[in-house]
Amino acid sequence: MGFVEIALVAIAALLAGCVVLLAQLFRRVQPPDAAVALAPRLEALTLGQERTDRALREELARSRDELATQTRHLREEVNLALRDVGAALDQNLERSRDSIDARLRGMQDDNQKKLDEMRATVDEKLQATIEQRLGAAFKQVSERLEAVHKGLGEMQSLAVGVGDLKRVLTNVKTRGGYGETQLEALLEHCLAAGQYAKNVQTRAGSAERVDFAVRMPNGANGEPLWLPIDAKFPQEDYARIQDAAERGDVAAIEDAGRALETRIRGEAKSIRDKYVAPPHTTDFALLFLPTEGLYAEVLRRPGLVEALQRDCKVVVVGPTTLAALLNSLQMGFRTLAIEKRSHEVWRLLNEVKKQFGLFGDLLVKVDEKLRQASNTIGDATKKTRFIQGKLNQVEALPEQEQSLLLPDLTTRGEPE
């Protein structure tokens, strides 16, 4: 049932209700006689209402039928329109699909071209980078191989030099010269030229001369106090120890060690007898061993170093130990020099203090003279003001006479 049918039925029911309500009201209000008189009218009204209801129902039925027919036609038209719209949408979708497919194919072709170009560019750059890296790597390898070849050549030269050094060290005189050269290099590095000397005669009346001696301060009678340093290089005994150690021969090691100890004791006694002569020298001397291995081997001998210091007054030193000792001596020399210079500075300060006192006295005298001069200038100023006051009382002359008597001081020529 449509909206119009429902509205018509509602209107008819509302009219019927109104008629019944009016009839009831009328019966209550009117007197019985009037009700009797009006009864035919009410019946006619009721019959008219019924006919109206029947007419309305019939009209409603016709309207419902017409509405159903119109609705059926409208549904058919809507279905046709929907079919047309669907067909049009299908056509549009087909055309859109074709257009999108064409654009997608175009985009795929463009992307493929760009990818091919990028792949070609990347391949070129990658090939160039790989070639560059490989070239650099081959260059480095070539340089390394060349350096290795050069190093092999240097090692061969070094092997030849080691052989030459070994032949040199087999000669006792040459070996002693090597120890003296190394000792001299350490002295030059750690001390000043005037703090040590070479081939020094430390014992008076003796022809023996020590390799080097350090000039110590505070010598007797103004003479230098020497610290003797003698270089020794017992290479044969040390070489026998090394050979025995490589073979693992314990007995040979002990024999070579005892021979080295005997050699070192003999050298220490010789240094004591030849070069230690207090008060011209210190009460001990230094025995320099030019290699650290030899020095370490001597230190390994139990009680050897202590016995040499106690019995022979000889201290065994290696390159590192001697450098540390010389640096300590250098610091002591600097301390003594600073102390000496400090005494000179104190004397200079005392002299400056005395001269400064004299300068203060001179300033007092100058101050008195300045006060006297200031007082004299003050008196002259007072007299000048007094004379000026007296001159102001003199009668002034005419300008012409004044110019004749006293020419203008601002002009430098003679008056006309």
Tens-digit pLDDT profile for the chain (416 aa)?
555 556 666 666 666 666 666 666 655 555 555 555 666 666 776 777 677 777 777 877 887 788 888 888 888 888 888 888 888 888 888 888 888 888 888 888 888 888 888 888 888 888 888 888 877 877 888 788 788 777 777 776 665 554 554 554 455 444 556 778 888 888 888 887 778 888 888 877 777 888 888 887 765 556 778 888 888 888 777 888 888 888 888 888 888 888 888 888 888 888 888 888 887 888 888 888 888 888 888 888 888 888 888 888 888 888 888 888 888 777 776 776 666 666 666 677 677 667 767 767 777 787 788 888 878 887 778 778 777 776 776 555 556 655 665 555 445 444 44
E strands within 110-244? 196-200, 210-216, 225-231
Beta-bridge partner residues of 198: 212
State the Cα–Cα distance between residues 295 and 316, nearest whole angstrom.
8
Please tell me the predicted confidence (pLDDT) of residue 406: 55
Strand-pair category, 225-231 with 285-288:
parallel
Domain range list for the chain: 1-59, 115-170, 176-340
Tracing tokens 């002009």 back to the chain, one arrives at: 411
Enter the tokens of residue 241. 């120890």
Are 287 and 183 spatial neighbours (Cβ–Cβ below 8 Å)?
no
Read off φ and ψ for residue 317, nearest 5 degrees: -135, 150
State the Cα–Cα distance between residues 392 and 408, nearest whole angstrom.
19
Instruction: Give the list of residues 6+ apart from residue 19 with CB closer than 8 angstroms, or none.
Output: 45, 46, 49
Please tell me the predicted confidence (pLDDT) of residue 337: 62
What are the CA-CA distances from residue 214 to residues 78, 191, 229 (Å)?
130, 9, 8
Tracing tokens 């009346």 back to the chain, one arrives at: 205
Read off φ and ψ for residue 289, nearest 5 degrees: -105, 120
Please tell me the predicted confidence (pLDDT) of residue 413: 47
pTM of the model as a whole: 0.42
Please tell me the predicted confidence (pLDDT) of residue 414: 45
Are 253 and 296 spatial neighbours (Cβ–Cβ below 8 Å)?
no
**Nearest residue to 112 via CA among 104, 101, 123:** 104
Please tell me the predicted confidence (pLDDT) of residue 1: 52
State the Cα–Cα distance between residues 160 and 354, nearest whole angstrom.
73
